[in-house]
Structure 1
Amino acid sequence: IQMIHALGKRAGVAINPATPVCMIKEMLPLVDKVLVMTINPGVPGQKFINSTLHKMKELAKLKEDNNFYYDIQVDGNITDETIVECLKTGVNVFVSGGYIFNG
């Protein structure tokens, strides 16, 4: 992460639906973005995994409590309905390819 920043670039980390936030906790003070996958990667058309909302809330709380500066990004079946739920948790970056292009 430090090498990426030394090159003048932003660094991020991604977690799959099954990955707990505690696995990346040590990186949070260093990263610019945390991507929460809301479906299992590699298989389009899956349903949004509601349990990922808890991860988003946890990341937002850690960010606020520790004055971290990372963006919280979500990807995976982001629709007009799921985006509202994600917004409520503190997410501020959204990836919504399938919904936009196939909607």
Structure 2
Amino acid sequence: MANRNSVILSPSLLSSDFSRLGEELAQLESAGLDWVHWDVMDGSFVPNITFGPPVIGQCRKRSGLFFDVHLMIDDPGRYVAAFAEAGADLLCVHAEAETHLERTVSEIARLGMRPAVALNPHTPLSVVEYLLPQLHMVLIMSVNPGFGGQSFIPFCIDKVRKLDLMIQRAGADTLIQVDGGVTPDNIAELRRAGADVFVSGSAFFGHPPYAERHQAFMAAAAPVPQPSERE
């Protein structure tokens, strides 16, 4: 499983061909990807609607990829069990959408999934500070969520850097994921700031073949920072 010396690309299916999700997943696996990112949207928390547990559950039967499921929905705690049953490996909920965040994080872990929390660009890091020992990952949104193809918000690099320091000080091994406007042109800077997992939608799926695009992202990523470089 991933650790803080890993560089992981998690392509967002939001930019894939929804009419052939099973084939897309098979192609990602063949291209050497390990993770895939599911953007679940409800048309309320964000102004878009995508897919839910039934679609993920059917695709789970056809794929061995690590299902990185990002819930952009109101009151996500109501649906934790449904996504566990559908086969999510990691379940990420938005801090802004959850009143009882610790309870939901604990329930995600109890049901056998890896818990993660997402923060919108304007949301302070202090929201997750006390939860870091419980979290497998924190997702820093580097665009305002809802639609693919948006431009990266530059101040999120500093936010990643500050979260990396916070994780070190907590003695945790929580991964940092970045989602929104991630490309081969900025992945090295994000990696140097402390990010571990990178979500890319249109910048990945819009440039087939997938194996070559995966390699382009990996080649662009900076060398793994040593502990002294993270301080």
**TM-score using structure 2 length:** 0.43
Aligned to 1:39: 143
| Cα distance between partner residues in 2 of 1:48 and 1:6 | 34
Bigger relative CO (Cα 8 Å, ≥ 6 apart): 1
What letter matches 1:50 in structure 2? P
Aligned to 2:80: none
| Cα distance between partner residues in 2 of 1:75 and 1:52 | 10
Aligned residues: 103
Displacement after TM superposition at 1:43 (Å) = 2.9
Aligned to 1:68: 172
Displacement after TM superposition at 1:45 (Å) = 2.3
Displacement after TM superposition at 1:3 (Å) = 2.0
The answer for unaligned runs of 5 or more in structure 2 is 1-104, 208-231
| Cα distance between partner residues in 2 of 1:14 and 1:2 | 15
Query: Quick check: 1:29 aligned with 2:133?
Result: yes
Aligned to 2:213: none
Aligned to 2:197: 93
Displacement after TM superposition at 1:31 (Å) = 0.8
| Cα distance between partner residues in 2 of 1:102 and 1:63 | 34
Identical residues among aligned pairs (%): 38
Aligned to 1:16: 120
Q: Kindly name which structure, 1 or 2, has the bigger radius of gyration based on alpha carbons.
A: 2
Aligned to 1:51: 155
| Cα distance between partner residues in 2 of 1:76 and 1:54 | 15
| Cα distance between partner residues in 2 of 1:66 and 1:4 | 21
| Cα distance between partner residues in 2 of 1:52 and 1:78 | 11
CA-based RMSD: 1.2
The answer for unaligned runs of 5 or more in structure 1 is none
Displacement after TM superposition at 1:44 (Å) = 2.5
Which contiguous aligned blocks of 4+ residues in structure 1 show a shift greater than 6 angstroms?
Answer: none
